[in-house]
């Protein structure tokens, strides 16, 4: 993740290239993380570089307005409407943008569909890339060393940590998000859900089922 205006290359050539610091500037902040953040916020506020009310607005956005219920609506609609599902699999960015789900960390979306043959699972081994407009801020486990290290090598053992066992014949396809493309898993629709409304189906679509570490809930 990076700056909020990542589309630009940033400042001109007078800015030094990133490099290895012998003396890391961050070491000058307090070592306790809560105090460290407080100290940084205080300095930035005194310099006039941040407006604490803007920080409150950012936090409110990700606590209350953007989260996995967005993705659940996309999945529920895909389950109910084959044309919508086909369009989603063809060009997810256009389709979810049309539902108002676009923005930071969701600029290039791809949807991948689970079948009896293939179970999809998403990870970012190099950092923690995640489709924010559809799923919100990633859970702690998604950002953990254990998930980043293990998901690509032993996805079934990771699924076991979530209590999920796949049928013998199902292959796993793990998507390592190494670029700015963000992946949404469309889980399999549970049996016994014919005739359910979009809202009813949404309740069956868990966050983890859209990352591929879970399955949709049976009613």
> Which DSSP helix (H) or strand (E) runs through 85?
helix 82-90
With vertex at residue 119, the alpha carbon angle to CA 116 and CA 122, rounded to the nearest 5 degrees, is: 165
Q: Is 85 a catalytic residue?
A: no
Evaluate whether 164 touches 187 at the Cβ level (below 8 Å).
no
How many residues sit in the footprint of other proteins (CB under 8 A)?
Answer: 104
Q: Nearer to other proteins by C-beta: 58 or 81?
A: 58
Q: What are phi and psi of 76, to 5 degrees?
A: -60, -40
Q: How far is the CB of 83 from other proteins (least distance, A)?
A: 21
Q: Among 81, 126, 199, 200, which residue sits at the site for other proteins (rule: CB under 8 A)?
A: 126
90 binds other proteins (CB under 8 A): no
Residues 68-87 binding other proteins (CB under 8 A) are 68
Residues 23-52 binding other proteins (CB under 8 A) are 24-26, 28-29, 33-34, 36-41, 43-44, 46-51
Q: Among 77, 87, 113, 141, which residue sits at the site for other proteins (rule: CB under 8 A)?
A: 141
Q: What are phi and psi of 176, to 5 degrees?
A: -90, 115
Which of these is catalytic: 3, 31, 85, 129? 129
Sort strands 181-186 and 108-113 into parallel, antiparallel or unpaired. Answer: parallel
């Amino acid at each position: 993740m990076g700056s909020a205006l990542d589309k630009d290359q940033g400042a001109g050539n007078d800015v030094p290239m990133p490099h290895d610091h012998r003396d890391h500037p961050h070491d000058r902040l307090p070592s306790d993380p809560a105090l460290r953040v407080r100290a940084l916020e205080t300095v930035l506020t005194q310099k006039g570089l941040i407006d604490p009310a803007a920080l409150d607005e950012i936090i409110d956005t990700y606590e209350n307005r953007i989260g996995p219920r967005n993705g659940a609506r996309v999945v529920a609609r895909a389950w109910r409407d084959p044309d919508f599902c086909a369009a989603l699999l063809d060009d997810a960015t256009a389709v979810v943008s049309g539902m108002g789900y676009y923005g930071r960390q969701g600029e290039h979306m791809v949807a991948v569909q689970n079948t009896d043959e293939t179970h999809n699972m998403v990870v970012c081994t190099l950092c923690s890339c995640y489709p924010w407009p559809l799923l919100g801020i990633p859970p702690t486990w998604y950002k953990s060393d254990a998930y980043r290290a293990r998901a690509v090598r032993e996805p079934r053992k990771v699924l076991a940590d979530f209590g999920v066992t796949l049928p013998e014949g199902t292959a796993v396809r793990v998507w390592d998000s190494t670029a700015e493309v963000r992946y949404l898993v469309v889980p399999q629709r549970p049996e016994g859900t014919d005739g359910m409304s979009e809202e009813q189906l949404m309740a069956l679509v868990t966050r983890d089922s859209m990352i591929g570490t879970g399955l949709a809930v049976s009613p």
